Amino acid sequence: MTNTSLSNPDLIPTTAAQRTWRWWHFAALWVGMVMCIPAYTLAASLIESGMSWSQAVGTVFLGNLIVLVPMLLIGHAGAKYGIPYAVLARASFGTQGAKLPALLRALVACGWYGIQTWFGGQMIYTLAGVLLGHPLGGDPLPGLGISAAQFGCFLLFWALQFWFVVHGIDAIRKLETYTAPIKIVICFVLLWWAWDKAGGFGPILDQPSAFTDGGKKAGQFSSVFWPSLTAMVGFWATLALNIPDFTRFARSQRDQLVGQALGLPGPMGLLAALAVFVTSATVVIYGKALWDPVDLASRMTGAAVLIALIVLLIDTVSVNLAANLVGPAYDFSALAPSRISYKAGGMLTCGIAIVMMPWKILASTQGYIFTWLIGYSALLGPVAGILIVDYYLLRKTELAVDELYREGGRYSYSSGWNAAALIAFAVGVAPNVPGFLNAAFPAAFPDIAPAFKAIYTYAWFAGLALAAVVYGLLMAGKAQAHPLPRTAL
């Protein structure tokens, strides 16, 4: 029978009545998540590393095209069985072992949730300064390192998002669906504004690649391209794992496939191009490149600044809730289903986001996009490899859903832990650890072998491939792949 320590109303398979998401809901979800400040600024990091604008936009598009593959593969299980990621992981990691990948995913999301909330608070801080006619200012508070005004704006934005936590995932779906078309229109309005103000697009578009013959980094393109591509994949690596948390509400398999294919790679590439075009124009308008849309909005005049900052606020709320709240809410619930509901998991995520003090993470981490993104992709890539091999190659997409919620069944392995998955995960992560330590703490770990640095360059790819191969070998002949009945819980 179903074990209450493994199940609650939020974790059981969705019913037919709950499956209301059509392809346009998924497309709108992705448009809503793509249109965010960190995604807007991704192209900046690539251009600063020496790429031309076309190389930067192409790298962003390719990275998102690659991550779409595991997104669709793992999303299949959610649409077919109506189960969230934390429950799907039980098939490979075990009923208790699945708590490890769930916790990893949740903690990464808490970090992102806090970072995005800080960005939102900074927008309120900027908006308040514009409306008052002067910056809010103030001395840093002891222990926090930011002013009372900054902290108050952070908490205000935190509270704004908390309303959606209380009202559940359907409120998030409606927010994404209604705001996605507005975001698309605003992007084109911003593009027209930049072109009009600058009398065309500026020098960034004319800047050649630094990797061409005679350039500052001639012949070094691959050494920049591969870690950049890994970072682009890592940007959505968290969603590639917990996408079943959304696809479990799909009306059909086709809805999640079409919606995601339309909503992710294309809009992400277009946003990168928009960022490049607008920023290139800011060189002409303001005399320097402004990659930060909040900084750009604060320099506008009249009603434009108010409209721009409000749109950015709505944008940050929608992406943060969808990308960084839904997943950890389910993951925390799966850690202790009898005590933590989806709503309680969401509240826990919000609480951890404050405790992490994201402004300190951003202030103390140099090149955080690459260190942060590649670093956690080294953890999440192996999990994706294990899930895909288990679901497709070993079980042929057939699961005994009721046994995912039972101790002592086929997914319990040894006391709820599948040693094969743990070994495969460790093998996938281990080669990336030295490279991560060198990237994150170069002064403390300066003498890392070049081979480990090279492996870390491909962290997500290397981790996924290694874990997939090891798990497949260890589980050969052990998983039951024949059709299994899906009995009601």
* Phi, psi at 20, each rounded to 5°: -110, -5
- The answer to whether the CB of 359 falls within 8 A of the CB of 40 is no
Q: For residues 300 and 265, what is the distance between their CA atoms, to the nearest angstrom?
A: 30
Which residues, 6+ apart, have CB-to-CB distance to 357 below 8 Å?
114, 144, 145
Q: Are 182 and 32 in contact (CB under 8 A)?
A: no
The end-to-end CA distance of the chain, in Å, is 8
What percent of the chain lies above the pLDDT cut of 90?
35
Q: What pLDDT, on the 0 to 100 scale, is given for residue 370?
A: 54
Gap between the Cα atoms of 84 and 61, Å rounded: 28
Residue type at 124 in one-letter notation: I
So what's the pLDDT on residue 116?
86
Tens digits of residue pLDDT in 442-453: 888 888 888 888
CA gap 118, 353 in Å, rounded: 9
- Euclidean distance between CA atoms 427 and 460, whole angstroms: 13
CA distance 77 to 58: 30
User: Can you give the pLDDT at residue 474?
Assistant: 95
What are the beta bridge partners of residue 147? 140
User: Which residue type, as a one-letter code, is found at position 351?
Assistant: G
Mean pLDDT value across residues 321-325: 83
Residues 464 and 378 sit within 8 Å (Cβ to Cβ)? no
User: In this structure, are residues 174 and 183 in contact, taking their beta carbons and an 8 Å threshold?
Assistant: no
Which residue from 315, 307, 266 is spatially nearest to 38, judged by alpha carbons?
Answer: 315
Length of the chain (residues): 489
> What is the rounded average pLDDT of the residues 50-71?
89
Assess contact for 349 and 109: CB atoms under 8 A.
yes
Q: Which pLDDT score, from 0 to 100, does residue 50 have? A: 82
Is residue 172 over pLDDT 80? no
**CA 7 – CA 87 distance, rounded (Å):** 9
Query: How does pLDDT run across 289-313, given as a tens digit for each residue?
Result: 787 777 777 777 767 777 777 777 8
Tell me the two tokens of residue 147. 């002013």
Residue 202 DSSP one-character state = -
Quote the Cα angle for 83-18-268, to 5°: 70
- Tell me the pLDDT tens digit for each residue of 147-163: 999 999 999 999 988 88
Determine which helix (DSSP H) or strand (DSSP E) holds 349, and give its type and residue range.
helix 342-355
- pLDDT averaged over the chain? 85
CB 14 within 8 A of CB 243: no
CA distance 302 to 33: 28
The secondary structure of residue 395, as a DSSP letter, is: S
Are 47 and 289 in contact, with CB atoms under 8 Å apart? no
> What's the pTM value of the predicted model, to 2 decimals?
0.83
Q: pLDDT by residue (tens digit) across 184-201?
A: 787 788 888 888 888 877
As a whole number of angstroms, the distance between CA 181 and CA 392 comes to: 36
Report the C-alpha gap between 13 and 87 in whole angstroms: 9
Q: For residue 85, which amino acid is it? A: Y
Query: Contact, 175 vs 181, CB < 8 A?
Result: no
From the list 146, 130, 147, the residue with the least C-alpha distance to 138 is 147
What mean pLDDT do residues 427-455 have? 87
Q: Which of 93-102, 230-239, 356-365, 443-452 has the highest mean pLDDT?
A: 93-102
